[in-house]
Chains A and B, each alone.
Chain A
Amino acid sequence: MSEVSTTNAPAGIGHGHDETSMGVDSRKLGLWAFIGSETLFFAALIVTYLIFKPVNEARPENQLPHEFLAINFTAGLAAILLASSLTMVLSIAAIRQNNQRMFRIWLGATIGLGLMFLGGQVYEFYHLYAEGLTLGSSLLGSTFFVLTGFHGTHVAIGVVWLSMIMWRGLKRGYSANDHMDVELGGMYWHFVDLVWVAVFTLIYLLP
């Protein structure tokens, strides 16, 4: 390339972040901004749950969280998701050292743990529906399922995203100098975990 087009990073290419005005990778900056936006999205979902919580209790057809939500089971889900964050970050650490084998193992573990979480959530939803907690049964059902359902959708998107990274890793290969894809997938994954940290405390644990 001539020096002309390297004065200014080629449009849309995430490489060579030392060429940009802020000295940071464009895609990473974009993803951080998007995550910032998602934070407000989940804040609105969570605050709706909290606003309706006392209203639900005062309703004649109320369904109380502690009668339906199993904390021990969800603590297991939380542990799974936290563990997946650990394996994700280990996977990034591995690819930074060009360790392809550990990169794939840890990434595969992350995907597996993500699938376990989704399976657990499907199981939980199934049981709650069987016990009579549905979208329409009470304010608890409305707020709980929409909030956790959207979180679950984000986990599912994360699993697809990480699977694509795995597939591309096998096909074209990542390296210590070229692993921005992995880092971005990881950032999104950690954010999904972060949301669950909040959901676990505010929805499941708070009395």
Chain B
Amino acid sequence: MANVYNDNAHSAAASVGTTGGHGEHGQAHEQHGSGLYWLIGTILAIVTAVEVFWPLLGVGEVGLVGGLVALMILKGAMVVMWFMHLKGDAPVFQFVFIAPLTLAVVFVLAFLLLFEGTHAGVAG
């Protein structure tokens, strides 16, 4: 977490330092053909179908949760990278999204950890 946050901060600062006022990044308007979008859309549909049938495969508790979370991350990454065009876009966009996303993941994990022990107390 610490590294991701700081590295991003530094790279944002460094990239500005070198461009110094007039951006050379441009925007990542790589003109993806519609074909790529259809491909991504198809993969997302297939992954969603796999997700629905995943619990029926009998992969055990860890495999079930791990697999579903992995598939979720795969889908989310595809939406962010290609549909929202974050892949190859200006580093500053990546920073202002990935920094809070990282914080959000840490936040969720920390809260799950903090509340893990309290369930018995609260519930029973």
Contacts and interface: CB of A to CB of B under 8 A. Distances in A.
Contact of A96 (B29, B96, B105, B119): B29
Main secondary structure of the interface of A (DSSP, over half): helix
A39 B71 CA distance: 19
Interface string B65-78: 10011011001100
B56 to A, nearest CB: 11
A71 B52 contact: yes
Given A47-B108, A58-B119, A190-B83, A205 B55 contact: yes
Interface string B46-69: 001101101100000100110011
Contacts of A88: 83
A37 to B, nearest CB: 7
Contacts of B40: 86
Contact of B83 (A25, A42, A50, A85): A85
B84 A190 contact: yes
Given A23-B90, A205-B51, A55 B123 contact: yes
* Contact size range, B: 35 or more
Given A85-B79, A89-B37, A194-B76, A47 B112 contact: yes
Contacts of B38: 86
Interface in B5-59: 16, 19, 21-27, 29, 31-34, 37-38, 40-41, 44-45, 48-49, 51-52, 54-55
* Contact size range, A: 35 or more
B104 A23 contact: no
A69 interface: no
Contact of A40 (B37, B75, B83, B104): B104
B96 A22 contact: no
Interface string A50-83: 1100110011000000000001100100110011
Contacts of B41: 82-83, 85-86
A194 B80 contact: yes
Select the residue from B16, B33, B101 with max chain A CB neighbours within 10 A.
B101
A141 to B, nearest CB: 16
Contacts of A20: 23
A72 B96 contact: no
Given A29-B96, A190-B83, A206-B65, 13 more contacts: A18-B23, A22-B25, A24-B25, A24-B93, A40-B100, A46-B108, A58-B120, A59-B123, A86-B38, A86-B83, A88-B83, A200-B48, A207-B61
21 contacts: A17-B23, A18-B22, A20-B23, A21-B21, A23-B19, A23-B23, A24-B25, A32-B93, A32-B96, A40-B103, A51-B111, A55-B122, A58-B123, A75-B51, A86-B41, A186-B84, A194-B76, A194-B80, A197-B79, A198-B72, A200-B72
Closest 4 CB pairs of A and B: A23-B23, A36-B100, A86-B41, A58-B123
